[in-house]
Amino acid sequence: MASLPTPRINEEEYLQIERAAEYKSEFVDGDIFALSGGSLVHSRLALKWGSELDLKLRGRNCSVYNSDARVRTNRSGSYVYPDVSVVCGQPTTHQASDDILINPIAVIEVLSPSTADYDRGKKFGLYREIESLQDYILVHTGSIHVEHFSRQPGSWLFREYSGAESVVSIASIGCDVLLGDVYEGIPGLAAD
């Protein structure tokens, strides 16, 4: 993720710029970071995760959002774009806006070589500011492999899943996802 040559700005300035922009940028610590396009595998995996969750959550008062849904974190006032986010119950927005979610219960990020460290580190730290967030899932693109963090009282529990027969249980939304289903048809996967 590359920082644009812009001076530090505040939230209102960011939102004014972002809403008029032709491309998406995240806002962290007063800086704007342009989001680059992902690979075809990245795009396909994000779509498949979103579709799988949307299908499993049908009729359950939960909404699945793609990477166009901007999410604001609580303490730092940062703005990020998860690959997939899930809200159960009524979506809550920041300051009655219609484009800033503040209550996702689950977030899925598809890893890419340029963002993997950010997604595991700084971005996960930002997501942990969101009180409603219970599950954070990192999806690998080169192999059938998922890292899953679930909120526990006072900590986060880490689990890893590998292989097409593995099932990721997302307790916060009551869904089990068979990795073989979301990775089916993805080219170039390494053998486990």
Asked if 87 and 65 touch (Cβ cutoff 8 Å), the reply is: yes
Q: What is the value of pTM for the model shown?
A: 0.90
- What local confidence, expressed as pLDDT, does residue 64 receive? 98
Residues of the chain predicted below pLDDT 70: 1-7, 37, 190-192
Distance CA 124, CA 104 (A): 14
Domains of the chain, earliest start first: 38-183 (3.90.1570.10)
- What local confidence, expressed as pLDDT, does residue 168 receive? 98
- What local confidence, expressed as pLDDT, does residue 188 receive? 78
